[in-house]
Amino acid sequence: MLFNSIDFIVFFVIVLALYRVVRPLRWQNLLLLVASYMFYGAWDVRFLGLLVFSTVVDYVSGLRIEGAPTEQGRKRWLIVSMVSNLGLLGFFKYWDFGVESMAYLLGQFGLHPHLQTLGIILPVGISFYTFQSMSYTIDVYRRELTPTRDFLAFALYVSYFPQLVAGPIERSTNLLPQITKPRRKVTREDVRIALLWILLGYFKKVVLADTLGLMVDHAYRHTDEMTGAIMYVAGAGFAVQVYCDFAGYTLIARGVSRLLGIDLMRNFRMPFLSRTTNEAWQRWHISLSTWLRDYLYIPLGGSRGGRLLRYRNLMLTMLLGGLWHGASWPKVFWGGWNGTILVVGHMMRGDKKPKKPTLPTWIRQTTIFMILWITGLVIFRSRDMDQAFQVIHMVVTDFRWTPELWLYLKPTLAILGLLYAYHIWQEKEGSEFVLLETHPLVRTAAYSFMLITIAVVGFRPSPFIYFQF
């Protein structure tokens, strides 16, 4: 059930109407849990059992960790949680990739064993809900959280439908208290904010992301007919597409959730205004980057132990972050590319804190960052490393102007310019609610423009990109 579908709109209107008339907290949670399971089951009811399995394992593990009399017992139940969640994720997401990679590697040595893939279907959202559920158990183990004994509340925490299939990856310290305590009253201001987010989310997805997606898909389907310049512009288009697609999903999720009286975390903070890759990862997919920081980078040692260990930890974190995005070598290479840029940035900057730049310096640094960011996404978008190397070779050897280039450049620059104008406005005002705070005529014009363009373009059955991850 896609957010950008009439089915979801009807589904949510019914859920919201029922939710408004149900008063006891437990009945509200039960309604949302049933709705969440229906929402997930609409994708493929067979995989609903995996969601329930992860929920039960981590609920029990959290209680067992708290009740264990010894550190060894606590650690044993933490391992149960991690093996269960990572085992699910590893089998359904990486088994076939591992088999194919092993067969290729052995083939390089003249060995050709009969290794057969299973054709496993990737359950939607598994990368998100396993990380969210597992973080709860880790926090309990670290004594940063007291485990809940309310199974209904915990099940809703794991499966809450607005953010179930593509995040944000919520922390239990943020989401669980909102589930276990009586809902705050949804005010008129909440409704205004929620409707803005939903409208802006649909505009980013339906109008901006899907429009660019047609261009990007065509370029990558017909790579042999393109030039290096076109492929690089297509990579830039993909950078904008994936942002609008994912940020659009997050805005819709936050808006829908706010109408239910539950606040979800902000997942994007104007990433294209970044001056470095390090800054970008503080602005892009914040729920994942902070998850990787807290549950991978810091446990590996973080910045402790000297520069070489810090660089190793950065590289390992980004490689695994790339692998989280998909079971393919282009995703791993993209993670390594980001890790390399982060390491080089730390080597050049040292421990100096960045100064506030002048406008020319900001433009130069932002331009360099965008070139590096787009280069990584040119590879990320490739179906395999053969296509990735082909595109890189084309960019290096055939970067020339052709009449067709303008057909790709025009929509990319137009949409990127629109995003920059909006993000600079937000940054200047220090608020993500600038459209609510501006003059009513400006707000009315902006809302009308978004509504009209959404109506003209229309909803297409186009899945959100991060559903693949």
User: 427 Cβ partners below 8 Å, 6+ apart?
Assistant: 270, 273
Q: How far apart are CA 349 and CA 363, in angstroms?
A: 18
The pLDDT score that the predictor gives to residue 328 is: 93
Q: Give the pLDDT confidence of 45-84 residue by residue, as tens digits.
A: 999 999 999 999 999 999 999 999 999 999 999 999 999 9
Q: Give the pLDDT confidence of 228-264 residue by residue, as tens digits.
A: 999 999 999 999 999 999 999 999 999 999 999 999 9
CB 373 within 8 A of CB 174: no
Neighbours of 442 (CB within 10 A): 11
Q: Which residues are catalytic?
A: 325
Burial of 85 (0-12, 13-18, 19+ CB in 10 A): buried
57, 194, 420, 430 from 425: Cα distances, Å: 46, 20, 8, 8
CB 370 within 8 A of CB 361: no
17, 159, 186 from 31: Cα distances, Å: 11, 12, 18
Tell me the whole-structure pTM to 2 decimals: 0.93
89, 261, 263 from 243: Cα distances, Å: 25, 26, 21
Residues of the chain with pLDDT under 50: none
Local structure of 340: helix, strand or coil:
helix
Q: How far apart are CA 246 and CA 313, in angstroms?
A: 27
Q: Find out whether the peptide bond into 168 is cis, omega within 30 degrees of 0.
A: yes
For residue 124, give both structure tokens: 């939607």
184, 266, 436 from 263: Cα distances, Å: 10, 9, 18
**Nearest C-alpha neighbor of 126 from the set 93, 171, 99:** 93
Query: Dihedrals φ, ψ of 39, to 5°?
Result: -60, -45
User: 291 Cβ partners below 8 Å, 6+ apart?
Assistant: 131, 135, 169
Q: Where are the beta strands (DSSP E) in 257-386?
A: none
Domain boundaries, the chain: 6-183, 189-275+357-468
The pLDDT score that the predictor gives to residue 469 is: 66
**Helix/strand/coil percentages in the chain, nearest 5:** 75, 0, 25
140 membership: H or E segment, kind and range = helix 126-141
Percent of the chain with pLDDT over 90: 80
User: 432 Cβ partners below 8 Å, 6+ apart?
Assistant: 266, 269, 426
The pLDDT score that the predictor gives to residue 105 is: 84
